[in-house]
Amino acid sequence: METAEEKSNLLGLQGDNNMEQPFTVSSLKKLVAIPDHTDISVTPEERVRALSKLGSNITINEDITPRRYFRSGVEMERMASVYLEEGNLENAFVFYNKFITLFVEKLPSHRDYHQCAVPEKQVIIKKLKEVAFPRTDELKRDLLKKYNLEYQEYMQHKNKCKTEFLKKLEHQKLIEAEKKRIAHMRQQQLESEQFQFFEDQLKKQELARDQKIKESVVMSEQIDGSMLSCISVQENSSLSAALLEKKERRSTSGCAGHSPPVERVLKPAATLSAVQTQLAEALRGVILPRDLCHKFLLLAEANTVRGIETCGILCGKLSKSRYKWLAFHVMNSYYNLSGHFNTVGLVYWGNICSKYPAIVVKPSKSFSMLYNTGFFEYFLWHSSKTHNEFTITHVIVPKQTAGPDYCDMENVEELFGIQDQYDLLTLGWIHTHPTQTAFLSSVDLHTHCSYQLMLPEAIAIVCSPKHNDTGIFRLTNAGMLEVSACKKKGFHPHTKDPRLFNPCTHVVGKDIKIIVLDLR
């Protein structure tokens, strides 16, 4: 596909987050140290600095020619313009920052920079001066204004929650004081009733004793005293039992219907920009015309019968998403065990059924889960105008030299001219294996490494007409690390475990038109 040197080289336009690295102690420390641009609790200036940090996370590889970087910059500026047109300020700001960082700070230190004289270099310099710098400054002002409004709303919400919490706390204190007062009154009443009960019992005992004296005037003082003692013991036993029963009844009625209040720590609701956390870095979908491979194989048939490979470049544009997105934040329904609100959920917009909607996590037969909420606030993340996936619209077959196991492009200036004419992005490449199965050889791995580093969503399509098989692949994290570090040329072995490439999961076939341009 490309020169031998470019096949094994690496373009570090992607930040560390795009490599999907596992968490380490070092990465966790970085997460703690660097504020999140979606965190509305931090100041607007800190959020803009976090976005700038995201845009400046770029490294370059000395083995990749500056011309490749200049070409990638042209497409990077196109994507930034698309995001700006649709009002996606965060993504536009990040991509313009990447553009400036690459061509102002990073690329001039490349060993071949000053020897590179290509038309794209002048285009980039002009774009920097007339487009990137002015738009970045304007976007920064707009973002500061937007974040300032969100920060004010957050502080108002926080103060409101604090005031309500203090009111509830004061109300709870009043309730506790009233409970203590009532308990004290009940205790006094109980003591008064007990005292009255004892007085009544003493009066009854005196009356009974007087009656016994009248009936037993003939009995001696000793016998009379013994009888009075026995009577007193029996009546005192009845008195104790009655008091115990009455106390238990009051204790039961006094405790019924009271339960301790539950304190909940309020957490501010997320806003629209908080939902856009991974928008600038997430792997976007790719729409593939269903008859693309068939048309390409027809065009390559003359080479295929001679056992010669044929290659083409997949080009297209950012297109509208197939689904609308919805972010919701549960306000008064469910709490976790720590007393905090549930976190923000990100879902496809399903059916809005009634006053209390049912949110469908993903509208498919294989996976659907209803999440009913009592009361929530929600925001549209992407409307139908939002561009967040790529559509392959063209296959450009450049002039090329090929053999049974290789295919190299020639006259790339003609290819670039066609892309500029139709405002196309490079979305990957396609080639045939006339005699072999559909897989990525070691040469193919090195070729696709640079494509995928230019654009993480880039795909490699391999057509095997002999075996009636077609594969759509991308390199894994392990594959990107190993291939980018490999300096070998031609066919050579690579490790098989872990896998270096996998079938793509972000590609969807669709019945749309595909244009094939043969420049040979």
pLDDT confidence of residue 35: 64
279-326 pLDDT per residue, tens: 434 789 999 999 999 999 999 999 999 999 999 999 999 876 554 433
* Token pair listed for 126: 């002009």
Q: Which has more pLDDT, 106 or 384?
A: 106
The average pLDDT across 355-372 equals 34
From the number of C-beta atoms within 10 Å of its C-beta (0-12, 13-18, 19+), residue 431 rates as buried
Give the integer Cα–Cα distance in Å for 164 and 166: 5
Residue 310: its H or E element: none
Backbone angles phi, psi at 165, to 5 degrees: -65, -45
pLDDT confidence of residue 258: 41
pLDDT confidence of residue 209: 84
Nearest 5°: the CA angle 271, 273, 277 is 115
Instruction: Look at residues 89, 135, 144, 72 and name the one whose alpha carbon lies nearest to residue 386.
Output: 89
Say which amino acid occupies 502. N
Handedness of CA 47, 48, 49, 55 (dihedral sign): positive
Least confident of 233-242, 254-263, 402-411, 418-427: 254-263
Give me the half-sphere count of Cα atoms (radius 13 Å) on the Cβ side of residue 88: 24
Q: Which has more pLDDT, 501 or 345?
A: 501
pLDDT confidence of residue 220: 52
Give the integer Cα–Cα distance in Å for 500 and 479: 4
| Contact (CB, 8 A) for 66 and 116 | yes
pLDDT at 232 over 60: no
| Contact (CB, 8 A) for 65 and 6 | yes
